[in-house]
Each structure stands twice: as C-alpha cells, then as structure tokens.
Amino acid sequence: MTQQEFDAKYPLIIGWIHQTLAAHAPMARTVASLGFRRLPKYFSSELLAYAKVVYIEAVPVPPLTKLGLNSFADFENMQATGITYLDTFFARNEAQGHEPLHFHELVHIVQWKLLGAKLFIAAYADGLERFGYRNSPLEVMAYNAQSAFENSQQPFDVEILVKNELKIS
C-alpha cells in the first residue's frame, strides 16, 4: 500500500475503531480488575488500569476488503482469539483467564501507546503486507515477549522492552 493509499484509508479505519470501541465500552473491564497473578510483575499498575478488555464471541475486525484493501483479506478472515485497538483488546470468551493471551495483547497496547494510532496502524499494515501475520514485526515482538513470559519465571519490564525494540528514546 502506498503512502497515498494509506492516508486515504486511515480515517476510515480509525473511525471504525473508535465506533467499535464506543459500541463495546459498557462491556470493557480494566485488566487490573481481572486479578491476574503474574501480569503485575511485567506491566506497571498504571498500564494495567489503563488497558481494557472486552470478552466477545468473535473479535471485531475492520472491514478491510470493503474498504478496497483486498491484500488484507487473510487477516480479516483469520478468526483471531484476540485483537487490540488503542487501549482496549477484544478476546474471545473462551480466552478469559488465559494469562498468556492477555500478556500478548498488552504488548500491543504498549505498542499502540508508544507509536500512536497512525504510526501503529501504518507499521502493522506494512508488516502484514510484507511478511504476513505471524512474521510481521509487531507480532514477532509480541509473540517473542509472550514466549519469554510463558517460559521463564524471571519478570521483565515489558514497557521498556517494547520501547527499546521500537527504538524510541
């Protein structure tokens, strides 16, 4: 996707995101309220109070092909277990209590927060287009951090990790 195409589609995508978040706001719960045992060792209490989750039957995905972005059809049809927009992630009902999924989506919330909406969406779209979902850089970062979380009891500061990997000073 060219910069010009992105600039034309961005307002439609961010508009859809804001509309979706507003429609589901009554169901949103802070991650801090969920009582996970390990997440507070990896994320600040401020981030856990800022981040929200909505449990849902199927996670909402922007209608990218209807917007003319046919190269994202695979992503749109993926049937994901979780997806993050700004400060909120959506997780399928069966993922309640699954701490690694919550960890993964919190990594994305940190990415959104550090990059801002426009840069996050641009980077995510570029990664999908060039590498596919699983090998896109923002997903690789989240999956690698999740793997470290799952396979080690040694806590680390995820916000600093993401900031360093994004090369933000």
pLDDT, tens digit, for every residue of 140-160? 999 999 999 999 889 999 999
| pLDDT band per the 50, 70, 90 thresholds, residue 168 | confident
| pLDDT band per the 50, 70, 90 thresholds, residue 74 | confident
- Domain range holding 122? 3-165
Q: Please state the rounded mean pLDDT for residues 44-61.
A: 97
Instruction: Compute the distance between CA of residue 33 and CA of residue 35 in angstroms, rounded to an integer.
Output: 6
Angle at 108 between CA 104 and CA 159, to 5 degrees: 90
Given this model, what pLDDT does residue 139 score?
96
Helix (H, G, I), strand (E, B) or coil at 89: strand
| pLDDT band per the 50, 70, 90 thresholds, residue 76 | confident
Given this model, what pLDDT does residue 84 score?
97
Where are any strands of DSSP class E within the chain?
29-30, 52-56, 82-85, 88-92
Domain count, the chain: 1
Instruction: Compute the distance between CA of residue 84 and CA of residue 107 in angstroms, rounded to an integer.
Output: 9
pTM of the model: 0.95
Whether 131 has a pLDDT exceeding 80, the answer reads yes
Given this model, what pLDDT does residue 50 score?
98
Given this model, what pLDDT does residue 71 score?
82
Look at residues 110, 121, 136 and name the one whose alpha carbon lies nearest to residue 13.
Answer: 121
Q: Please state the rounded mean pLDDT for residues 36-43.
A: 97
Helix (H, G, I), strand (E, B) or coil at 88: strand
Angle at 22 between CA 18 and CA 24, to 5 degrees: 120
Given this model, what pLDDT does residue 68 score?
83
